[in-house]
Amino acid sequence: MEAAPPTLALVATIVAVGAALLFLVRRNQKTYKNLPPGKLAFLIGGVEYLKEGFSEICNFPGSGPRKMRFLLSPTILVRNFSQIKSIMNGEEDTVTVSWPAATVAMLGTDSVTFSTGAYHRSLRRLLGPCFSPQAVEGYLPSIQAICERYCAEWAAETTAAAAAAAPAATGGDSSAVIEQLPKLQKGARMLTFEVMSHVVAGFHFSPQQLASLSDAFDVFVRGIFAPVALAIPGSNYAKASAARKVMVAALTQQLELLKGGSGGGGNGGGANGGGDGDSVMARLLGMTDEHGKPLTHKALMDLAINLLFAGHETTATSIVRLMLVLRSRPDVVSRLREEQAAAVRQHGAAISGSSIRDMPYLDAVVKETWRCHPVVPMVPRRAVRDFTLGGHDVPQGWGVVLGLVEPMRDLPAWSGLTPDSPLHPSHFNPDRWLSGRSSASGNGSSNSASSSALQQQDGTATADGDDVASAAAAASVGGGGGAAGSGTLSSPMGMLPPQMLTFGGGGRYCLGANLAWAELKVFVAVLLRGYDFTSPLPELEVKLFPALTVAQGFPIEVRAR
């Protein structure tokens, strides 16, 4: 008997596999009688949310959970704040961390992101002091110096581009002039990478190495969230895999220098801002596993890549988001400049914890940026056992997606507000955070809202991952939400209301929260104290996936005042 053609055999195999999967899905649905409403796509689902970076994946009617197929996994979507918090506080009891295979491969199984149990808690205890409010205040002089250098370099590049503009004005190519302008997207990425790698981690890369590694991380980020971990030539995942090898080679060299005690000096790299001995990497090099053995080279690589990625990428994205707002809001820029002038008169040019405490309007602008443009719109988890949520079954093994955007959309403060109200949530309005403060005029005269500008709720220092973040924020005036229909929000300086899950919560609250606050505030302070900035392109297209991408790299003109 003649064998069936290969094509028919392949089709038959695909049909058989599909039928088996369908049978398993249906059997699973029959086992759990009270699944949330929703639909499970056949084989793969959720790809329609890629374009918006998954920011709308939990934007559905009602507050109860929904089910869908997210990529290959049947998944429960959660948008209700209390349900999200209960899941975050139940890490390792009801859920565990779960990202696509590409993300796991790129960050590594030994990274902080994917560590669990005692190892994860040990890492947080070890690294927490490097990100504490006291440590971050110690980093401020180094962060300010780095920001001042980058702003000066951007101003020099702008001057050079202006010199090239003369031929363009007489018939030359204006696009060539724009090409020579500094690009904020790359500049912000390099700035935050230098802060994290040098000031906090204790690495000492040359300027050329910094530029090369920053570019490698950019390629890395664009492949880290690939739906499928297949290194198809030319794919983002294949490029990310190659970039990771470049990063590992450079980091291996740096680790050897640190082991030999020849880190190269520098003005950062420690939990007290004073040297390499207490830096992130020095601490990791001294860490031992449960058997008393030093961490393996693979573990050190996974941890270094994870911490450098998490410690600079989201902060760079926040800077870009903030600058996209400021370029079209001269009123906000004017008030920020007034506040900075007052801070300099009161505290001098050096940016310290005390001077940041006299920047309530800047604090409100940062909060409003994160409210309007969440950097991390959702986090995926996986159920480790059956449990119920809002009266619905969550089966063991199913994915659980926590929507971090929706809790801020559901606040009573928005009820009854019409779109023409300046406090409607669709409007960028920092004043919603200043209700009842004498500093609402932007003169920086009041710091009564907080005893420490860098007392961002610190979920990092707790030994067992207690949710200090929520406890601190919940103690704020009004629990973070203003009166119904007021459109206002309340939280102490340097802290977010509990419904604003920018840094997550529970035992996986972001280690670098304090650092992110400080970098954004210092960057804006340095830029607006000494420089004017404009963007030559009236419209800038912004893409959200696989990473925030602004048209032409976000060219800007920076000129000394």
Q: Report the pLDDT value the prediction gives residue 478, as an integer from 0 to 100.
A: 36
Total count of domains within the chain: 1
- Model pLDDT, residue 470: 38
Residue 82 lies in a domain: no
The pLDDT tens digits for 295-306 are 999 999 999 999
Per-residue pLDDT, 9: 61
In the block, residue with structure tokens 């006299």: 358
528-553 tens-digit pLDDT: 999 999 999 988 999 888 788 899 99
Name residue 294's beta-bridge partners.
Answer: 288
> Do the domain assignments include residue 40?
no
- Position 121 in a domain: no
Min mean pLDDT across 47-61, 97-111, 305-319, 478-492 is at 478-492
- Buried b or exposed e, range 143-168, using 16+ CB within 10 angstroms: bbebbbebbeebbebbeebeeebeee
Does any domain span residue 310? yes
Tell me whether residue 355 is in a domain: yes
CATH code, 137: 1.10.630.10
* Range scoring the smallest mean pLDDT among 161-165, 323-327, 367-371, 493-497: 161-165
b/e map of 3-14 (b: 16 or more CB within 10 Å)? Answer: eeeeeeeeeeee
Whether residue 288 is contained in a domain is answered as yes
Q: How many CB atoms lie within 10 A of CB 320?
A: 21
Under 8 Å between Cβ of 522 and 140: yes
Please check whether residue 66 is in contact with residue 398, taking contact to mean a CB–CB distance below 8 angstroms. Answer: no
Residue 511 lies in a domain: yes
Q: Which residues contact 65 (CB under 8 A, 6 or more apart)?
A: 36, 76, 77, 78, 79, 80, 83, 389, 390, 392, 394
What pLDDT, in 10s, does the model give residues 435-465? Answer: 755 333 334 334 433 334 555 444 433 433 3
Across the chain, how many H-helices and E-strands are there?
17, 11
Count Cβ atoms below 10 Å from residue 77 Cβ, excluding itself. Answer: 24
The binding site for heme consists of 510
Q: How far is CA 443 from CA 226, 440, 469, in A?
A: 46, 8, 29
Token pair 């911490």: residue: 307
Annotated binding-site residues read 510
Which secondary structure element, helix H or strand E, spans residue 90, and what is its range?
none
Q: Which residues contact 114 (CB under 8 A, 6 or more apart)?
A: 97, 99, 104, 107, 108
The tens digit of pLDDT for each residue in 175-233 reads 778 889 999 999 999 999 999 999 999 999 999 999 999 999 999 999 998 878 899 99
Res. 43: pLDDT tops 90: no
Mean pLDDT of the chain: 85
Q: What is the domain extent for residue 420?
A: 127-560
Give pTM, 2 decimals.
Answer: 0.86
Residue 45 domain-assigned (yes or no): no
% of the chain beyond a pLDDT of 70: 82
